[in-house]
Amino acid sequence: MRLHYFSVFILMLFGCSGGGGETEHGHGGAHGGAGGHGGAGAHDGHGGAGAHGGVGGHGGMGGHGGMHQSNGDTYSPGLEKVGAMDVYTVRLLESEPLPRDTGKYTWQVQVLDADGNPATGLMVQAEPTMPAHGHGTMPQFTDGVESEDSPGTYLLSEMDLFMPGVWMVTIRISGDGDESDMVMYHFDLEG
């Protein structure tokens, strides 16, 4: 147990220093210790981060802190979102890598129609942004490529989620007619 804690602590330290220009806050976050508050330190590029680090002194409670301070989704394979227009449902079948660190993400998403059947031949486009920072990424849009093996499943390749913090990935879907819909995933990346 002790050993495990220690290694998490070290990981947090590295993670935070990887956040860039964040040494002081990252330090505070790391002291939050062995858990979620380390994430807060890395993710908040602004002054408030130190305060989070301080709160994180709870040590063992760090994990809980991370969960409730985050406004991200908790990833699990198949994470499902019903479209804003109730036309389509999207399942995030797979994220590579798992949503945690910054980097280039490739997602497999399955789109279901109102009857729950895979919806084929759609235009599927993702737009990652960071709402709290008012920016997106490059390229701005990523077009989904439908799988030949698994119709109704679309591949969104190499989305560059380059910065710690909350990313919103908006997926817009349009079919032949005027059937269109959108879903949003939020993931809070550590760095």
Please state the closest distance from residue 165 (CB atom) to Cu ion, in A: 5
Q: Restricting to residues 129-188, which ones interact with Cu ion according to CB under 5 A?
A: 130, 133, 163
The CA R_g of the chain, rounded to the nearest whole Å, is 18
Q: Restricting to residues 70-89, which ones interact with Cu ion according to CB under 5 A?
A: none
Give the CB-nearest residue to Cu ion.
133
Q: Identify which of residues 64 and 135 has a Cβ nearer to Cu ion in the complex.
A: 135
Alpha helices in the chain (DSSP H): 2-17, 23-32, 36-43, 49-55, 62-69
Sequence letter at residue 138: M
For Cu ion, which stretch binds (CB under 5 A), given 13-21, 54-62, 123-131, 173-181? 123-131
Closest CA to 189 of 105, 92, 83: 105
Please state the closest distance from residue 8 (CB atom) to Cu ion, in A: 25
Tell whether residue 46 is a contact of Cu ion (CB under 5 A): no
Measured CA to CA, the distance from residue 156 to residue 143 in angstroms comes to 6
Q: Identify which of residues 64 and 133 has a Cβ nearer to Cu ion in the complex.
A: 133
Q: Identify which of residues 83 and 128 has a Cβ nearer to Cu ion in the complex.
A: 128
Contacts of 148 (CB under 8 A, 6+ apart): none
Measured CA to CA, the distance from residue 175 to residue 120 in angstroms comes to 9
SS3 category, 191: coil
Q: Identify which of residues 34 and 161 has a Cβ nearer to Cu ion in the complex.
A: 161
Q: Identify which of residues 40 and 163 has a Cβ nearer to Cu ion in the complex.
A: 163
> What is the contact surface with Cu ion in residues (CB under 5 A)?
130, 133, 163
